Amino acid sequence: MMTMLNTLKRFIYACLLVTPTLLQAHEAHEHGSQPQGAALAVSLALDENGTLWRVAVEGGRVIVQASTDMGREFDQPRKLNASPQKIGTDGDARPKIAIGPEGNLYVTWTQALTKPYSGHIWFSASTDGGRTFSTPVIVHRDRAEITHRFDALTVASNGRIYVAWVDKRDLHAAQANKQAYAGAAIYYAYSDDGGLTFKEEQKLADSSCECCRIALATDSDGHAVALWRHVFDGGVRDHAIARFSGQPLMEAKRASFGNWKVDACPHHGPALARGGDWGWHMAWFDGGEKAGLYYARMDGEAWVSSPARRFGLPEQQAGHPALASRGEQVWLVWRALTAQSAIVMLAYSDDGGRSWQDAVQVAETGGRADHPQLLTQGDAVWLVWNTANDGLVSRRLLP
C-alpha cells in the first residue's frame, strides 16, 4: 500500500512539474509568430547586378528566391525538387547556392534517406538567370544508402563547379573487412560543363569528422581548397586542409593544433577565405578546456599556419564563423549569445590578418538566429544573417 501511495505521490509530483510546460507549449504553438518547423538554415549569394539569391527548405522542397533590396523582400519561390524530400537543415546542414562567372546559379543539398546518417547530394542549375532550374541530379555515382552528406559547393573563376561532401563508403568497406577506420572521408566531384555532367567522384582524404560542414574556396588558378574537421591519431578532432583540382594536388595537411580529443559530433565546421597570393584565412571552433573561436593564416605553399588567435568572449558561445577577404583586408564574423539575444560580432584586419581591430557588435536579434554569412560583390562586403524575429538581416560592412 505504501509503495502504491509513494508511486502515486511521485506521479502527482511528475505531473505538477510537467503541467505548466505542457500548457506553455500549447500556447506557444497557438500564438508563436514562426511556423513550427520553419528552418532558418539558408544560404545566400550576390550576383553582379546586386540581386541577392537565397536558397532555403520549405515543406520538403528546396526553394530559391531573389531579392533586389538585400533581403527585405523576396520574390516567388522556385521549387527545385518536384516531390518533397527530407532535407537536412539542422546543425551544420543546409542547402547551398553559388553563382558562376557567366551568371549561372548552382544549388546543392543533402537529402536524408531512411537509414540513419545516410544521404544523397543533389544538384540543380539555372542557366537563365534564375528563371528556371534544371531537373535535380545526384552528384555522386555511388548510390549506396550510406552517408553522402554535408555538401559544400563553390565555383572557380574558370567556371568549374566543385562539390565536396562527407562520405562513409570507406568506413563501411573497412568494417566489412573487420578493419578499423576513424571517422568518414572527404569526397568531391567537379563539372566543367555548367553542371550538365559531373566527373566521377574522387577521395580527397580519409578520416574526416562526420557531421561538420566543409569550408570550400577556390584560388586564381581554378583550383579548390577544402578545410574540414578531421580525426587525427587518438581521436583528436583538429582541422585538415588540402588543395585539389581534377585530382588531389597534395596530401591533406594538419591546419589546427588544439588537440581536442573527443568521440562526439561537434556540428561545428570551419570557415575559409582566400588571402593574397600568400595563402588562406582560416577560422574554426575548437572544443575542450579552451573551447572557443580561433583564427590563423595558412601559407598556401608551405602549408604551415600562423599561431591560432582566439576571438570572442568566453561563455558567449562564440562560434559559426564566416570570413571574407579583399587584398589585405579581412572580415571575420561570428555568432554569439547573450542573456537576451543572439548577436553577430565583427573583427577587421587591414594587414592580411596579422593584426586585428577590436571586435564590434554589428547585428542583434531577440529570437532564433542562423549562422552569419559574408558576401562580397565589387567593393562591398555584406553580412547576411537569417533570424526568426527580424527576417533576413543584411548590413554592409565598412570600410
Interface with other proteins (CB under 8 A):
1, 5, 8, 11-13, 15, 17-19, 21-22, 24-25, 34, 36-38, 86, 90-91, 116-117, 210-211, 262-268, 285, 287-288, 291, 315-317, 319, 337, 342, 367-369, 388
Closest to other proteins by CB, 263 vs 379, is 263
CB nearer other proteins, residue 8 or residue 250? 8
Task: Give me the least distance between CB of 259 and other proteins, in Å please.
Answer: 14
Least distance (Å) between residue 313 CB and other proteins: 10
320: buried, middle or exposed (CB in 10 Å: 19+, 13-18, 0-12)?
buried
Closest CA to 87 of 122, 53, 115: 122
- In 3D space, the residue among 218, 272, 264 whose CA is nearest the CA of residue 240 turns out to be 272
Q: 241 near 223, Cβ under 8 Å?
A: no
Residue 365: other Cβ atoms inside 10 A:
19
* Min separation Cβ 392 and other proteins, Å: 17
Grouping H, G, I as helix, E, B as strand and the rest as coil, residue 326 is strand
* Least distance between other proteins and beta carbon 391 (Å): 16
Q: What is the dihedral of CA 266, 95, 335, 287, to 10 degrees?
A: 10
What are the cell numbers at 355?
593584426
Closest separation in Å from C-beta 115 to other proteins:
11
d(CA 141, CA 268): 28
CB of 83 to other proteins, least distance (A): 17
Cβ 37 to other proteins shortest distance, Å? 5
Partners of residue 282 on adjacent β-strands: 272, 296
Q: Considering beta carbons, is residue 147 or 191 the nearer one to other proteins?
A: 147
d(CA 163, CA 274): 18
Smallest separation, CB 238 to other proteins (Å): 14
Nearer to other proteins, 17 or 176 (CB): 17
Are the C-beta atoms of 146 and 197 separated by less than 8 Å?
no
Nearer to other proteins, 266 or 300 (CB): 266
Looking at the Cβ atoms of 130 and 372, the one nearer to other proteins is 372
> Please, which residue, 262 or 304, has the CB nearer to other proteins?
262
Closer residue to other proteins (CB): 201 or 286: 286
C-alpha cell at 258: 588544439
Q: Is 89 helix (H, G, I), strand (E, B) or coil?
A: coil
- In this complex, which beta carbon is closest to other proteins, that of residue 101 or of residue 288? 288
Q: For residue 152, give every residue at least 6 positions away whose Cβ sits within 8 Å of its Cβ, in sequence order, or none.
A: 96, 162, 163, 164, 165, 213, 214, 215, 216, 226
For 193, the grid coordinates are 560543363
3-state secondary structure of 5: helix
DSSP state of 290: G
How many CB atoms within 10 Å of residue 74? 19
- Specify whether the CB–CB gap between 104 and 127 falls below 8 A: yes
Cα-based torsion angle of the residue sequence 227, 229, 230, 232 in order, rounded to the nearest 10 degrees: 120
Using CA atoms, how far residue 325 sits from 103, 135, 158, in Å, is 21, 34, 20
For residues 70 and 283, which CB has a smaller minimum distance to other proteins in the complex? Answer: 283
For the bound state, the minimum distance from the C-beta of residue 120 to other proteins, rounded and expressed in Å, comes to 16
Q: Minimal distance in Å, beta carbon 174 to other proteins? A: 15
